[in-house]
Structure 1
Amino acid sequence: MDRVRQGRPGFRRRFGAVLAVGAASALAVTALAAPAQSADATRAGAAADVQADVNVAKNAGFESDLSDWTCASNSGAAVTSPVHGGAKALKATPSGQNHAECSQLVKVKPNSTYKLSSWVQGGYAYLGARGTGTTDVSTWTPGTSAWQQLSTSFTTGANTTSVTVYTHGWYGQSAYFVDDVNVFGPDGGGGTDPVEIPAVPTGLKAGATTAKSVDLSWTPSSTATGYTVYRDGAKVASTSGASTTVTGLAPETTYDFQVSASNAAGESAKSAAVSVRTPKDDGGNDGGTVPKHALTGYWQNFNNGATVQKLRDVSSQYDIIAVSFADATTTPGQITFNLDPAVGYTSVADFKADIAAKKAAGKSVILSVGGEKGTISVNSDASATAFANSAYALMQEYGFNGVDIDLENGLNPTYMTKALRQLAAKAGPKLVLTMAPQTIDMQSTSGGYFQTALNVKDILTVVNMQYYNSGSMLGCDGKVYSQGSVDFLTALACIQLEGGLDASQVGIGVPASPRGAGSGYVSPTIVNNALDCLARGTGCGQFKPSKTYPGLRGAMTWSTNWDATAGSAWSNAVGPKVHSLP
């Protein structure tokens, strides 16, 4: 959310249309990889697989610097940190009109299928293959502070003996890093070492455990491209990273978990088991006092030209009031809250009394973390713990029901997940946990924000994506939709609804007035049409979902102050619609 009236930095609006082109490929690879074959099935044909399935890329881990690779305009270099595997990785830096492409010509066999993948970190990163003789492919990911894997596949033409594989960043964005590039398929004559089944993962351990879920982590296997988690011998999860959260557990029950590693050659044996017993269910997370269909509004703890309000003045239409914003401290991950004198409170006690009164009226008051200029960073175990401890301390001090994650400068899904689970363990099942990602953050399940939402799905109340300040974007049908239309709202919500979030965890976030954002304001009528389209199948534009989502949580606005400036027209129109959803 904007701490000032102006829109977000211009590059997001400028990127809206151009990112849509790459996002089409990203949507095609958002689903988690299917579990690998069983070890027994793999071993049955192990000899043939090992002989036929090789990585035809050379110097795939950049251990020999840029040998076999060509980087445009000397934009790339081998670095020793950060690395995903081995001692080195590629760092490439876009500049001007150069998007820092690094490529390699690999030898392939005609009429053959190859699996292309790499690990990336940093700015916007693309991975692709051209000159395939059939359909060239590419995939991409938004900027991320953690390593994540990109993957796709291609088939060579009848006369194709070489293909260019490449990676690049994006204009005006920060440097990106690449490691462990794999082009698995038949040897095209270039020769390489056969792919071997990875070693059995070690160090499996359980982390935060609730009545219905458990966090698991393990030491990664160096050649693994994926992992399969087993519960009492049955497959329950697949992941590309060395941690996951298993949900759907029963309270007061003991489970044994194991994990295996896999790559193109097959699946390893299962790890040693770790035993976990879930605690008693003390009521389950029901989102605190949040109703089935809820209206969320952000309350400004500053004066930027919108109506200055006290919490007591916020319209009763709002079910969740997000106090904006928490502030960072000098300790990484730690947050604090400073009441701005500009909002008119004579004392902090008066502010706390307003929170208590709103809660007594059945409302949830939460603390929003971040905003456009927020600098909170959670990227280590220590900062995750600092975040959880400080957020819980503020909940106790002020009476907040929970927190809202509105980090608009990237987040680390691994450590933010740990932070939120630690907070949930302290706060209990009534914790209200909301998120307000930007539009680009929810275009693909491979993005860090989307991953975080899925990681904490069992304790998540609602994701109110910001459908503004973005320009045109892709919908779940792969078509580009213009910001400000009913199709923009419904087709982009569909990505979340079909990407793993429950309907009760999806809300539509829009500005309360034209002055509330740089772009993307839509009238309450369009918002209500979108709600009807998603929940009832009526009021749709050109895009109509394949099914309805009557459990849709509702809508959100920035902000209650801008709403008040416009005579509460937004909340008076959208609030009754939200509360009358089926």
Structure 2
Amino acid sequence: MDRAIRTPFSRSGRLSRSGRRLGGVLTAALLAAGGLAGLGTGTTARAADTGAGTTDVNLARNPGFESGLSYWTCSGDSGATVPSPAHGGTAALKATPTGSDHAKCAQAVTVRPNSSYTLSAWVQGSYVHLGASGTGTTDVSTWTPSATGWQQLSTTFTTGANTTSVTLYTHGWYGQPAYFADDVTLTGPGGGDPGEPVPGAPGGLAAGPATSSSVGLSWNPVSGASGYNLYQDGTKVLSASGTSATVTGLAPSTSYRFEVTATNSAGESARSAAVTATTTAGGSDGPSVPKHAVTGYWQNFDNGATVQRISDVQSQYDIIAVAFADATTTPGAVDFTLDPALKYTEAAFKADIAAKQSAGKNVILSIGGERGTVTVNDAASATNFANSVYALMRKYGFNGVDIDLENGLDPTYMTQALRALSAKAGSKLVITMAPQTIDMQSTSAGYFRTALNIKDILTVVNMQYYNSGSMNGCDGKVYSQGTVDFLTALACIQLEGGLAPSQVGLGLPASPRGAGSGYVPPSVVDNALDCLAKGTGCGSFKPAKTYPGIRGAMTWSTNWDASNGNAWSNGVGPHVHGLP
């Protein structure tokens, strides 16, 4: 979002790449890789133990992708984690090939020389491969030409006399649709120091805020542990690399028993002392945001737009995003201070927030903006972010947080930060995002991946449909900024890419002065919403289906709206609230 108006710029759409023909080329490549050796669909067998006193364990780290892409590297930034479909736990890998990249996702694993291993994984998609390279003997690969549901692939190999590391991988095929993978298992003798001890059982397991479908859990770190397994009523439900996790997919008003273990290459610890948590009753959870909502950014600075207090914000706005919190000298941490130029006391600011909330509105804190320098790129900064945002929520009474980082974000650690914040704030937390158009062109982009990673706690993504130039729509065609087609065809990418309609909003400037380019009259916003929700008012692009649950629209800013006689909120607000 602009603190000062930016110079318009143009971004080109995705490059058009020619696909590669399957048939002979594919067959030759598969033969060369040993890919036609057979399709493994049986149960993974326990690998032979060749080292005295060693134990076969799952050596794959983050095997169920419950911790994002931790330990995995995907070629061409092709991979992302998604909540559905998942074979086990609450996440799976989704990797999308292109005409020049087969979406290979891999991790290196420490093994022992002269030892036997069994590799398996569950996959969905066309031409999905599972394999291991660097074995020191014969590298192995198995594949399936078509798995419409979850199918298990399995293969075995023996390491060479000097082999201490192998690379596990999955990949699809050039020009084919996205594939999914989950629950990767490499069983066999653990690598590393044969004298490395199995870690002790974790202590301090505690249940945090519960919703009708989820429970947050945390525990103390264990020395020597490389990961943790979480058990629900005796059954393993997910793996984690850190000391907290959220179990989702639970039933309302139900009691569950949880335990956690620590793991490393030597094995898995005994289970911790159990804790019991009960989910809340259905229908009482989630932020109090209307089915169709209008979001507006309130400027904590004077850039020529009408200077407002929170109490001045037009009543059509359901979510008011206070812009912006700023970075501190502590990595990941943010702070907020009222601009002295506004002559707005802290007491009056807090009182105005409370008054808006009493009127059924949500007031949240926006992080970043055009000049924002907040960086969350490791576990420590993720913790600092969550702690500082929660402290500001408690200080001022904010209902949640808006992520408006326009210089990129790390999906792994921003996911970690937002889940930690959710565990602190509870189920009423409002989380919104305002990515630029380029950030939502592909599910492999960092913003899109973050949104999908937190889909169960995400309120809405209000992409900025401005300051971008022409961009690709979901049909692969390029659409010009400032048209109904631009709004609908780009929204389609998010709607078909995994976000729920209730998590998609259209972000536009409130007046021609609100952004460098991309302003459209309120009637164009209304037509785009009708096209998406009802199939009417469309331009040349018409979605294959309608999305009646689409959340609504956002504008930058309430101040620019006021400068323009509140034309945007008076034109778009009633239309949003009148959607089916």
Give the TM-score category using the shorter length: 0.5 to 0.7
Say whether residues 1:21 and 2:16 are aligned partners. Answer: yes
Check the 8 A contact 2:233/2:256 in 1, yes or no. Answer: no
2:505 maps to 507
Q: Is the contact between residue 526 and residue 575 of structure 2 (CA under 8 Å) also seen in structure 1?
A: yes
Q: CA–CA distance in 2 between the matches of 1:235 and 1:497?
A: 32
1:255 and 1:408, CA in 2 relative to 1: closer, same or farther beyond 3 A? farther
Say whether residues 1:119 and 2:73 are aligned partners.
yes
Residue 254 of structure 1 corresponds to 256
CA distance in 2, matches of 1:333, 1:390: 9
Partner of 1:519: 517
Partner of 2:5: 5
Q: Which amino acid aligns with 2:420?
A: Q
Corresponding residue for residue 330 of structure 1:
329
Q: Deviations over 1:349-387 (max 9, x none)?
A: 111121111112211111100111111111222211211
Matches within 5 A, 1:445-524: 445-524=443-522
Q: TM-score, normalised by structure 1?
A: 0.64
- Bigger Cα displacement from structure 2, 529-538 vs 407-416: 407-416
Q: What is the CA distance between 1:280 and its match in structure 2?
A: 2.8
Change (3 A) 1:213 1:289: closer
- C-alpha RMSD of the superposition: 4.7
CA distance in 2, matches of 1:289, 1:453: 20
Tell me the residue number matched to 1:425. Answer: 423
Match of 2:558 among 552, 557, 560: 560
| AA of the residue aligned to 1:513 | S
Does residue 1:355 correspond to 2:353, yes or no? yes
8 Å Cα contact 1:213/1:248 also seen in 2: yes
Partner amino acid, structure 1, of 2:425:
A
Per-residue CA deviation, residues 65-114 of structure 1 (Å, 9 max, x unaligned), is xxxxxxxxxxxxxxxxxxx98xxxxxxxxxxxxxxxxxxxxxxxxxxxxx
* Structure 2 residue 192 is matched with structure 1 residue 199: no
Q: Identify if the C-alpha distance between structure 1 residues 153 and 574 changes in structure 2 by more than 3 Å, giving closer, same or farther.
A: closer
Change (3 A) 1:439 1:254: same
Q: Give the stretch that moved more between structures: 385-394 or 270-279.
A: 270-279
Distance 2:247 2:300 in 1: 38
Q: Are 1:22 and 1:140, in contact at CA under 8 Å, matched by a contact in 2?
A: no
| Separation of aligned partners in 1, 2:39 and 2:231 | 12
Tell me, yes or no, if the aligned pair for 2:132 and 2:140 is still in contact at 8 Å.
Answer: no
AA aligned to 1:379 is N
From the superposition, tell whether residues 185 and 458 of structure 1 become closer, same or farther in structure 2 (CA, over 3 Å).
closer
Task: Specify the code of the residue in structure 1 equivalent to 2:12.
Answer: G
Superposed CA deviations along residues 12-40 of structure 1, whole A, max 9, x for unmatched, are x2x333x3537999xxxxxxxxxxx9986
Aligned-pair distance for 1:324?
0.1
Q: Does 1:152 align with 2:97?
A: yes
1:254-293 to 2 correspondence within 5 Å?
Answer: 254=256, 278-281=277-280, 286-293=285-292
Distance in 2 (alpha carbons) for counterparts of 1:24 and 1:352: 57
| Higher mean C-alpha deviation, range 293-302 or range 379-388 | 379-388
- State the aligned residue count: 442
8 Å CA contact 1:287, 1:433 repeated in 2: no
Instruction: Report the AA paired with residue 467 of structure 2.
Output: N
Q: Please show how residues 50-199 of structure 1 align to structure 2 within 5 Å.
A: 119=73, 126=76, 152=97, 193-195=139-141, 199=186
Is 1:571 matched up with 2:569?
A: yes
Deviations 1:306-332 (A, max 9, x none): 111111111111111000000111111
**Long gaps (5+) in structure 2:** 21-37, 48-69, 81-92, 109-127, 142-154, 157-184, 191-197, 219-228, 262-266
TM-score (ref. length: structure 2): 0.64
Q: What's the secondary structure of 2:364's corresponding residue?
A: strand
Counterpart secondary structure, 1:525: helix
- The separation in 2 between residues aligned to 1:246 and 1:450, in whole angstroms, is 22
Q: Which moved more, 1:505-514 or 1:241-250?
A: 241-250
1:157 aligned residue: none
**Displacement of 1:179 after TM fit?**
9.0
Equivalent residue, structure 1, for 2:223: none
**CA–CA distance in structure 2, aligned partners of residues 466 and 149 of structure 1:** 25
Tell me the equivalent position of 1:78. Answer: none
Q: In 2 relative to 1, CA 396–292 (structure 1 residues): closer, same or farther, beyond 3 Å?
A: same
Alignment partners' CA distance in 2, 1:242 and 1:379: 17
CA positional deviation for 1:536: 1.0
Q: Distance in 2 between matches of 1:186 and 1:385?
A: 35
- 2:536 maps to 538
Output the CA distance in 2 between the equivalents of 1:293 and 1:300: 23
- Counterparts of 1:317 and 1:186, CA distance in 2: 57
The answer for the alignment partner of 1:398 in structure 2 is 396
What are structure 1's unaligned runs of at least 5 residues?
A: 26-36, 47-83, 86-117, 128-138, 142-147, 155-163, 168-177, 218-227, 260-268
| TM superposition shift of 1:572 | 0.5
Offset at residue 184 of structure 1 (A):
7.8
Amino acid at match of 2:325: A
CA change 1:544–1:23 in 2 (3 A) is farther
Q: Do the aligned residues in 1 keep the contact of 2:209 with 2:426 (CA within 8 Å)?
A: no
Q: Matches of 1:400 and 1:457 in 2, distance apart?
A: 21
8 Å CA contact 2:297, 2:558 repeated in 1 = yes
Letter paired with 1:293: H
The residue type equivalent to 2:371 in the other structure is: K
Quickly say closer, same or farther: Cα 1:484–1:283, change in 2 above 3 A.
Answer: same
Q: CA deviation at 1:479?
A: 1.9
Contact map agreement 2:287 2:430 (CA 8 A) in 1: yes
Which residue is 2:405 aligned to?
Answer: 407
Alpha-carbon distance change, 538 to 213 in structure 1, aligned in 2, over 3 angstroms: same
1:354 match: secondary structure: helix
Is the CA contact 1:258–1:271 (under 8 Å) kept in the aligned structure 2? Answer: no
- Residue 433 of structure 2: which of 399, 417, 435 is its match? 435
Summarize the Cα distance change of 1:234–1:438 in structure 2 as closer, same or farther, 3 Å threshold. Answer: farther
- 8 Å CA contact retained: 2:487, 2:528: yes
Which structure's residues are more often helix, by fraction?
A: 1
Deviation at 1:254, TM superposition (A): 3.1
* Mapped partners of 1:532, 1:192: distance in 2: 58
Q: Which amino acid aligns with 2:250?
A: L
For 1:159, the equivalent position in structure 2 comes to none
User: Residue 3 and residue 570 in structure 1: after superposition, are their counterparts in 2 closer, same or farther (change >3 A)?
Assistant: same
**Structure 2 CA distance for partners of 1:229 and 1:337, relative to 1, 3 Å:** closer
DSSP 3-state at the match of 2:373: coil
Q: Flag the 1:357–1:244 CA change in 2: closer, same or farther, 3 A.
A: closer
- The DSSP-based 3-state class of the residue aligned with 2:404 is strand
Q: Distance in 2 between matches of 1:478 and 1:422?
A: 37
Deviation, structure 1 residue 546: 1.7
Deviation at 1:210, TM superposition (A): 3.8
Provide the residue aligned with 2:317 in structure 1: 318
1:64 matched to which residue of 2?
A: none
Q: 2:499 aligns to what SS in structure 1? A: coil
